A and B are shown apart, each in its own frame.
Chain A
């Protein structure tokens, strides 16, 4: 079955990202397809390459990157939500005249249409938020 995953909250403050990750992992282990993981609102912080959690804590960003790499997941960050919060990829940094970018490996920045499309293409849309 095709699942769409929506993550509406950032890492560490809420459990939403952890729950979404555990759900996604369990679904993949069962042989389901993850059509897309969409990061919206504060959820965009899950894609910041510059997060440095303590060594003995889970690294939520790397965990998503690793899962994305392993299963070739389409992990999309909402562009408007990302720009408001200072999350940029190389192209956007250049376009906005910023001196750095901070998007983690495996994530891509795109528009809200990608969420709508995921809702249409997926058989189930799972929402993880506060």
Chain B
């Protein structure tokens, strides 16, 4: 299953909800303002680190770069992807849940 999170965890609790519901082997894509959840040194870093133990977490690089960030700013273990990768993830997973 693919979960998509498009909101900053500093604004909404969708990332926390998503991580609570995500099961082992699920994929999570952080895009739009959701990319802020993937950044190093925030109070959400431990939450992401915990999520990485059972899920694969991706960040959409075009949205990361549009906000002045680079992969250097992203928590180790979070994978980079782009729109083509987003399409692949959607096709590979049987269901897609948008945490709006």
List chain A positions with a Cβ less than 8 A from chain B.
1, 3, 8, 15-16, 19, 22-23, 25-27, 29-30, 32, 124-130
> CB-nearest residue of chain A relative to B97?
A127
Tell me the minimal C-beta distance from A125 to chain B in angstroms.
Answer: 7
Q: Judging by beta carbons under 8 Å apart, are A22 and B83 in contact?
A: yes
CA A125 – CA B94 in complex, angstroms?
11
- Beta-carbon contact of A19 and B6 below 8 Å: yes
Query: CA separation between A128 and B100, bound complex, in Å?
Result: 8
Given contacts A15-B32, A26-B83, 10 further A-B contacts (CB under 8 A): A15-B33, A16-B32, A22-B62, A23-B87, A26-B82, A26-B84, A29-B84, A124-B90, A125-B96, A129-B98
Q: Is the interface of A mostly helix, strand, loop or mixed?
A: mixed
Would you call A130 and B90 a contact (CB within 8 A)? Answer: no
Whose C-beta in chain A lies nearest to the C-beta of B33? A15
Complex Cα distance, B96 from A57, in Å, reads 31
Known: A19-B6, A19-B31, A19-B32. A26 touches B87 (CB 8 A): yes
B47, CB-defined interface residue at 8 Å: no
Number of A-B contacts (CB under 8 A): 47
Most buried by A among B31, B63, B87, B88: B87
Write the chain A residue with the least CB distance to B7.
A130
A53 to B95, CA, bound (A): 36
Q: List 8 A-B contacts (CB under 8 A).
A: A3-B90, A16-B6, A19-B32, A26-B86, A27-B90, A29-B84, A124-B95, A128-B98
Q: Are B83 and A25 neighbours in the complex by a CB distance under 8 Å?
A: yes
> How far is it, in angstroms, between the C-alpha of A95 and the C-alpha of B33 when the chains are bound?
42
Given the complex, which residues of A lie within 8 Å of B63, measured CB to CB? 15
B83 touches A129 (CB 8 A): no
| Minimum CB–CB distance for A67 against chain B, Å | 13
Q: Are A126 and B90 in contact, CB atoms less than 8 angstroms apart?
A: yes
**Chain B residues whose CB sits within 8 angstroms of the CB of A27 once the complex forms:** 87, 90
User: A86: shortest Cβ distance to chain B, in Å?
Assistant: 25
Q: Which B-chain residue is minimally distant from A127 (CB atoms)?
A: B98
